[in-house]
Structure 1
């Protein structure tokens, strides 16, 4: 299968043109969650994953109940990125230790992957795949790779230096609706299929809080929330109300907007 992935890589490039549209504000305040919160993530069932100032991870249900706590964070250092796209399989990436920890729904450790033992030494972006394996971008090999929970290499693309004049360095990877999205804030969004063929290059740059949700790409620039409809080739810019501004980080689900402020997360519904 690894060979199939390599030789099926036929780079087809479609530069997506898009139209910009302005929307009226549609943010409706729902609730706030307060506490010692320095970072967070949210899954598609609206469970919150809260990191406090001691790096403890706590899972809170959509109803506000405490579900589980993970206290072994300091064993691996500070979490660089958490992928909670599947509530049953949470990925924690510790970049300083080149280690990925896989947790179950109750935040028990399922598996630990030391990427250095797989001869992978420099990774910025990881993401859960549709089949519960892991996508990552190896910055030394300049390849998109797929590994299983033991670290075994399943798939890899050719060297990106052979494919692009200006090699991307993605900060985020999302597997959504049969496609893999690599986001380089300085260059573009690179869209691949599961065989490694480049399907699209979306000329969007400079977005913070980037996330792919269904058929939409979401992000922020300043005090605007941006949404790119993949099927319509259209960008919607929406000014956030004053109450939402001043956030440290935001997260999105299909219908909700989560804004982290000082020791507080505000939850809004948006359309």
Structure 2
């Protein structure tokens, strides 16, 4: 928790300084511009080893190391349509989800295909969110049955929750599934956060709505909207919110890691590093 607070505090200080100096960062800032990671970037994500996964406007995925060195490329971009979601929680096992085809592609650390899962063959026809599970299987949320399910790489259903409509007043339609610290977080921007244990038992619902870039670091949840950055730790009543400076409000995506700050805007992915 302390480490995540340091990251957040430093980020906010940098934002204030960067805005005061318009678009130029000088030696007085905590973060300095490191590099332009790409100028045709549509999305990206970063794993816990600092490897960067860049999706360009052709759908190609390029993996680079923390220093920007090229590691691997995934070029099989036309077979399943547009990539909907990528999960790199486990750097050795990357998940790609192509929602239009109901297909999960599992890659190794060099972005070679390990296996492909057709969710439709498992009678999973409406899945909007997937995520790595604690035991190297895959969480999926079946919206037709309103159940959280854990499946193996062969697509077989290993476990599933009770029908959400029997335990909550309004079943979610999550955009994110995060498995962290013995809890599974389902985030629905219209209804909030739903917390479950590893056995699919419902723990709590937290009405934090309207967030994008939802993530969990340690025990704290992070997200943002157009104007504010938020931090909340379950079990407390303290929702921390910090204004996003005007100079960064055009960002399509912001990701904070212990080593870098990543800002995607206007198809440009900018990487800033600590001083």
Higher relative contact order (CA 8 A, sep 6+): 1
2:180 corresponds to 1:180: no
- Where do 5+ consecutive residues of structure 2 fail to align? 1-7, 15-30
Q: Closer, same or farther in 2 for the Cα pair 1:225/1:231, shift >3 Å?
A: same
**Count of residue pairs the alignment pairs up:** 249
Mapped contact 1:41–1:50 kept (Cα < 8 A): yes
Paired residue for 2:68?
64
2:13 corresponds to 1:26: yes
2:48 corresponds to 1:47: no
1:116, CA displacement in angstroms?
A: 0.5
Matches within 5 A, 1:22-171: 25-27=12-14, 28-32=31-35, 33-171=37-175
Matches within 5 A, 1:215-230: 215-230=219-234
- 1:99-136 Cα shifts (integer Å, max 9, x gaps): 00000100000110000111111100100011110001
Mapped contact 1:213–1:254 kept (Cα < 8 A): no
SS of structure 2 residue aligned to 1:260? strand
Mapped contact 1:211–1:252 kept (Cα < 8 A): no
Mapped contact 2:60–2:73 kept (Cα < 8 A): yes
Paired residue for 1:16?
none
1:235, CA displacement in angstroms?
A: 2.0
User: What TM-score does the superposition give when structure 1 sets the normalisation length?
Assistant: 0.86
Paired residue for 1:214?
218
Matches within 5 A, 1:213-252: 213-230=217-234, 232-252=236-256
User: What TM-score does the superposition give when structure 2 sets the normalisation length?
Assistant: 0.85
- Where do 5+ consecutive residues of structure 1 fail to align? 1-21
The CA distance in 2 between the partners of 1:142 and 1:190, in whole Å, is: 13
The CA distance in 1 between the partners of 2:220 and 2:272, in whole Å, is: 18
Q: CA RMSD, aligned part only?
A: 2.0
Q: Closer, same or farther in 2 for the Cα pair 1:30/1:176, shift >3 Å?
A: farther
